[in-house]
Amino acid sequence: MPGFEIFGDEERKQVNDVLESGILMRYGFEGLRNNHWKAKEFEIAFAKRMQSNHCQLVSSGTSALTTALASAGIGAGDEVIMPVFTFVASFESILMLGAIPVLVDIDDTLTLDPNAVEAAITSKTKCVMPVHMCGSMADLNALQSICEKHNLLLLEDACQALGGTYQGKPLGSIGDLGCFSFDFVKTITCGEGGAIITNNDKFSKNADQYQDHGHDHIGSDRGAETHPNMGYNFRISELHAAVGIAQLEKLDEILAIQKRNYTIIRKVLETIKGVSFRKVPEGGEENYSFLSFFLPTEEMTKNAIAMLSEANVEANFYWYTNNWHYINGWEHMKNLKSLGLLTDEVKTQLKKLNDTDFSKSDAVMCRTISSLIKIGWTDTQVEDRANKMKKAIESVL
């Protein structure tokens, strides 16, 4: 994915700034750091780019989700509604707090189905966590209305959708909190890293403290700081943040190239009778990191994946049978394979998943192919890819 495709002198220069001062930690050591505060600088730039009041950097997208939930007061026994098509980090981040993941169906947006969300609300529900998979979004208007009606938090997992927008606003900035990942395969990368954005001053302060052992970050003597609440260590390092500063400056260029390559391929696939495309909610614009489309049947989709592979068209994902992203592959979670004890409430909820009917999601996922969009392709390579895809897909219809 793009971030690492365009790693260059700009990232090296930023990292060298840090190496030359030798201060790899984001806090303290004022006298020695040559006035380099890379994490702080990245936070300010990212908050501005995302039109949010606050940004808190952390060590990963997974720790961003945990920190965001904790900052908003989610804890043991609270229910968080999340989709069955996502990355394992969604339930991991919830379980880490002793909270309860409640998995519900997706629809043809490939994200949370608002009707399924509404049906899953109980007196314990505290938060709805849409996951904007593969560059596009959930129906955020519908989810916002549900959250307002039931007094729930809306936490957007925008880890895969950096740069996408909804009704003119950056994805991640619409809910109460938004989370991002800068791991090695994301739109921009720090190697490892994550961010939380919010307009809520209290959540922002809580996140700042939680990700650093509860430190209040007041004054310049770290050892003398107080700890208003307990926290953990989910800090980002200066080295990682330095890479992020350079990558963020390339974001708009990355998005423009993705859009161009996506559009070339989409126009060719649109000429195939039987191919339809993922629904993008009205007012939404994808970040164009994937082109996701549907074929008429599961069998045709499986055959198309085989034909694409045979034709050496790389990076076409069939999530339905991919361990990481769809509930079909989460046997470890459904069978309670935890190294530590789980609470009875969590066990009951997870066990239920073995008998829950997700046929609505199955019917969508078994016909979905997501095709990765790279930015290093030349125009000829994109056209060649599009034509090979058309030939492979038509051969199975």
Nearer to ligand PLP, 47 or 89 (CB): 89
| Residues sharing a CB contact under 8 Å with residue 342, sequence separation 6 or more, in sequence order | 95, 336, 350
Q: Does residue 159 belong to the site contacting ligand PLP (CB under 6 A)?
A: yes
Q: Does residue 84 belong to the site contacting ligand PLP (CB under 6 A)?
A: no
Continuous H helices in the chain: 2-5, 9-21, 38-49, 61-71, 89-95, 114-120, 140-150, 201-210, 238-248, 251-269, 298-310, 331-334, 344-352, 359-365, 379-394
x/- map, 99-138, ligand PLP, by CB under 6 A: --------------------------------x-------
Other Cβ atoms less than 10 A from the Cβ of 341: the count is 8
Q: Does residue 62 belong to the site contacting ligand PLP (CB under 6 A)?
A: yes
From the list 66, 86, 109, 370, which residue makes contact with ligand PLP (rule: CB under 6 A)?
86
From the list 60, 173, 204, 368, which residue makes contact with ligand PLP (rule: CB under 6 A)?
60
Q: Which window, 17-25, 81-89, 248-256, 277-285, contacts ligand PLP (CB under 6 A)?
A: 81-89
Q: How far is the CB of 264 from ligand PLP (least distance, A)?
A: 25
Element (H, E) at 170: strand 169-170
Nearer to ligand PLP, 160 or 316 (CB): 160
What tokens appear for 143 in the block?
A: 């989810």
Interface with ligand PLP: number of residues (CB under 6 A): 13
Gap between the terminal Cα atoms of the chain = 29
Which DSSP letter does residue 72 get? T
> Is residue 374 among the annotated active site residues?
no
β-pairing, 316-317 vs 153-157, is unpaired
CA neighbor of 236 nearest in space, from 185, 286, 189, 296:
189
Q: Does residue 157 belong to the site contacting ligand PLP (CB under 6 A)?
A: yes
Q: Which window, 74-82, 140-148, 157-165, 274-282, contacts ligand PLP (CB under 6 A)?
A: 157-165
Distance CA 260, CA 95 (A): 39
Q: How far is the CB of 185 from ligand PLP (least distance, A)?
A: 7
Distance CA 228, CA 9 (A): 41
From the list 66, 125, 160, 173, which residue makes contact with ligand PLP (rule: CB under 6 A)?
160
Q: Does residue 3 belong to the site contacting ligand PLP (CB under 6 A)?
A: no
From the list 42, 87, 293, 294, which residue makes contact with ligand PLP (rule: CB under 6 A)?
87
Q: Does residue 67 belong to the site contacting ligand PLP (CB under 6 A)?
A: no
Q: Which residues of 90-107 are buried (b: 16+ CB within 10 A; e: fewer)?
A: bbebbbebebbbbbbbbb
Catalytic annotation, pick one of 126, 186, 250, 302: 186
Rounded to 5°, the CA angle 43-49-51 comes to 100
Q: Does residue 61 belong to the site contacting ligand PLP (CB under 6 A)?
A: yes
State how far the alpha carbon of 82 is from the alpha carbons of 61, 85, 105, 240, 374, in Å: 16, 9, 9, 29, 28
State how far the alpha carbon of 144 is from the alpha carbons of 117, 118, 156, 384, in Å: 11, 11, 11, 42
* Positions 167 through 186 that interact with ligand PLP (CB under 6 A): 181, 183
Q: How far is the CB of 161 from ligand PLP (least distance, A)?
A: 8
Q: How far is the CB of 180 from ligand PLP (least distance, A)?
A: 8
Interface residues with ligand PLP (CB under 6 A)? 60-62, 86-87, 89, 131, 157, 159-160, 181, 183, 194
Which residues are designated catalytic?
Answer: 186
